[in-house]
Amino acid sequence: MGLLKPSRTGHNGYRYYNQDALVQLQRILLLRGLGLGLPVISQVLDDETDAAEALTGHLESLKQERARLARQIASVTQTIEAVKGGGEIMAEDMFSGFDHTQYKDEVEERWGKDAYAKGDSWWRGMSTEKKAAWKQRSQQLGEDWIAAATAGIAPDSAAAQDIARRHVEWLTGIPGTPASDARGKGDVKAYVTGLGEMYVADPRFAKNYGGAEGAGFVRDGLKIYAAENL
């Protein structure tokens, strides 16, 4: 695809790569690690011509992911110790690393302060058991989407559309989003289709569905469901 072009080609046909090419290779591997497909990586590389600036952004994302994983590891370790020792499990410890407040500014920018406030209040008001159940439901949806995409079925198949239905029902249970206002003025159809596009465009979402290709399958499935049912 021409993503990594050799710096020069010798008379013997050997391809040689200089330092700039190695930097480019590192960027490609980082983006692949985020779940992006090669066509999307090509577009990203075209849009981000300043390698140092782009790598600085990647580095910050990696540091944030490392910190989040460290909190999750500590959280699960504490839970295991508490379960084995018969101790009390504290909710604030159990869900460390699953902190939604890190996305506060982004949510407010995308959907407004009221959307974040409603969602934040809803999450904090849930019991430990309900939080765990909600997280499990979210994880199961992701696994079902990945399984469907891997099986090679069409996005408009009955099986895929059933997952799409469950996905929309899951979204309606999150206060502050247009999907939760299905009987009001919320544009649920536009919200669902727009969210599908974001799953593909944002690597943080795409990785929940096995990468960009899997996210594309989810997007198509949701778009078809929204067109026919919302």
94 in Cβ contact with 128 (< 8 Å): yes
Measured CA to CA, the distance from residue 59 to residue 65 in angstroms comes to 10
**How many CA atoms are closer than 13 Å to the CA of 20, on its beta-carbon side?**
7
Angle between helical axes of 212-229 and 158-172 (0-180°, round to 10): 80
Low-confidence ranges of the chain (pLDDT < 70): 34-36, 49, 79, 82, 86-112, 115, 176-186
Over the chain, what is the mean pLDDT?
79
DSSP state of 101: G
- Which residues, at least 6 apart from 175, have a Cβ–Cβ distance to it below 8 Å? 118, 119, 121, 122
The pLDDT of residue 69: 76
Mapping DSSP to helix (H, G, I), strand (E, B) and coil, where does residue 157 land? coil
Q: Is there a contact between 179 and 191 (Cβ–Cβ < 8 Å)?
A: yes
What pLDDT is recorded for position 130?
A: 81
Q: What is the pLDDT of residue 158?
A: 93
Q: What angle do CA 89, 204, 106 make, to 5 degrees?
A: 85
CB 151 within 8 A of CB 214: no
DSSP letter at 181 equals G
Q: Which residue has the tokens 């090679």?
A: 152
Which pair of tokens denotes residue 72? 């999750």
Nearest 5°: the CA angle 181, 183, 189 is 65
Q: Residue 185 belongs to what H/E stretch?
A: none
What pLDDT sits at residue 2? 84
**pLDDT at 14 (0 to 100):** 93
CA distance 196 to 55: 27
Only one residue has tokens 């110790």, namely 81
Q: Decide if 216 contacts 207 (C-beta within 8 A).
A: no
Q: End-to-end distance of the chain based on CA atoms, in angstroms?
A: 39
List, in order, residues 6 or more apart from 98 with CB less than 8 Å away: 72, 75, 135
Round to whole Å and give the CA distance between 205 and 201: 8
